[in-house]
Amino acid sequence: MTKIYSKLALYASLLLLAPLMAALITPAPAVASSDPPPAVGTDHDGNEYVFWENANQGLETVKYTEAKHTWGNPQAVTVDGHGMGPLGSAPTVAVDYDTGYQYVFWKGTAPNSELFEAYFNANGWHGPTEVKNGSDEMGPLNSAPTAGIDTNGVEYVFWKSTTGTLWWTHWDPANGWVDPHTVTDGSGHDMGTLGSGPAAGIGYGGTNPTQFVAWEGAGATPQLWYANARGLFTAPEAEWSGPNEALSSQAGGGLGPLGSQPTACTLPGSQTNPTTYVAWKSTVSDLEVSSSSGEVDWSPPTAENMGPLNSPPALSCGTSIRAFWKGTNGDLWEAYSSDGTNWAGPIDQSIGLN
């Protein structure tokens, strides 16, 4: 009887311990990844243009008019009643600072995952169009693209390739699109393996504008890395510098760890030593920002107490520096700064990013 009671007691104790043991050995559920970020650009009047992928995999947009201090109503981008979808990634936008024309790019859907575009000019919206140089396609893309436009009207588009390297193409008014190719320095070295999709800050001003591309490094503690160049339109390969880890001159360490892919923008105007801003979602879902003059000395990353962010942020540089993201309620949220250091917000614009 003693042995029977002992076995019963053992079985009972095992039953009581089972939930605890299961909790200890059962892996915790994975943290949900962020929603895709919106895309944003600004013109010289301070008007803001925001784009995102809607619930129908189409392209949605809303405009903030600075003169009226008002947001318009969100609407799907259509041409002859047809939408731009299906989008295979979040969109990116390059806004011509002088004209306000908008050039929107995204990754196409599988199996090709090539580069697509829609654009708005004086004649309205055009697209969707697969971006090609003749019959040569752009891609396949392994990330959402990032884009910008310079003073000469040259459009630059970058993406992470299927091998993890940084690829790009550009369009200029005289020659159209060039074939996609790897971003390399003057010695033919590529930018290494990207840990995220890239973010571009293209200079607007002067005769020899700058190009800046940032990404999350692929290490165990992801830091900010970047490549930069000047005058790529005239010297497509020889002037890239990088890959460079962004280091804070004051703090001495790298910028990070990052909790999302970064976003970037470069202040328009003189391009002798342009000021570039980079922001990202921190590991505690806050907005973190750093800046640099000439991409040399970086300010320490500053948490702006804007969270929690439900997507990576998007930056625009113009008459002010503005950050947008998807909030936890699904709305478009915003913060802004006149000097990049003192930020106002967060502001719920009550525009659903659905």
Distance separating alpha carbons of residues 87 and 90, to the nearest angstrom: 7
Half-sphere exposure of 119 (CA within 13 A, CB side): 19
Q: Please report which residue ranges of the chain form alpha helices under DSSP H.
A: 2-25
34-352: CATH class = mainly beta
What pLDDT is stored for residue 30 in this prediction?
31
Weakly modelled stretches of the chain, pLDDT under 50: 1-32, 236-238
CA-to-CA dists, residue 31 to 28, 34, 288, 326, 329, angstroms: 9, 9, 20, 17, 18
Neighbours of 166 (CB within 10 A): 26
What integer pLDDT is reported at residue 27 of this predicted model? 34
Take residue 123 and report the two structure tokens written for it: 């004649």
Q: Where are the domains of the chain?
A: 34-352
Closest CA to 103 of 54, 167, 36, 170: 170
Side-chain-side CA neighbours of 71 within 13 Å: the count stands at: 16
Q: Are 146 and 199 in contact (CB under 8 A)?
A: yes
* CA-to-CA dists, residue 219 to 127, 194, 312, 313, angstroms: 39, 10, 19, 21
Picking from 49, 30, 29, 31, the residue whose alpha carbon sits closest to that of residue 39 is 49
pTM confidence score:
0.89
Residues 6 or more apart whose CB falls under 8 angstroms from that of 198 comprise 143, 146, 158, 159, 160, 166, 213, 214, 215
3-class state of residue 138 by DSSP: coil
123 contacts 139 by C-beta, under 8 angstroms: no
User: Which structure tokens are listed for 300?
Assistant: 């320490």
Phi, psi of 19 (to 5 degrees): -60, -40
**CA–CA separation, 146 vs 159, rounded Å?**
6
CA 23 to each of CA 19, 27, 133: distance values in angstroms, whole numbers, following the listed order: 6, 8, 56
Supply the pLDDT for residue 234. 55
Q: 103-130: string of b/e by CB count within 10 Å (b at 16+)?
A: bbbbbbeeeebbbbbbbbeeeebebbee
Q: How far apart are CA 314 and CA 280, in angstroms?
A: 8
What's the pLDDT score for residue 11? 39
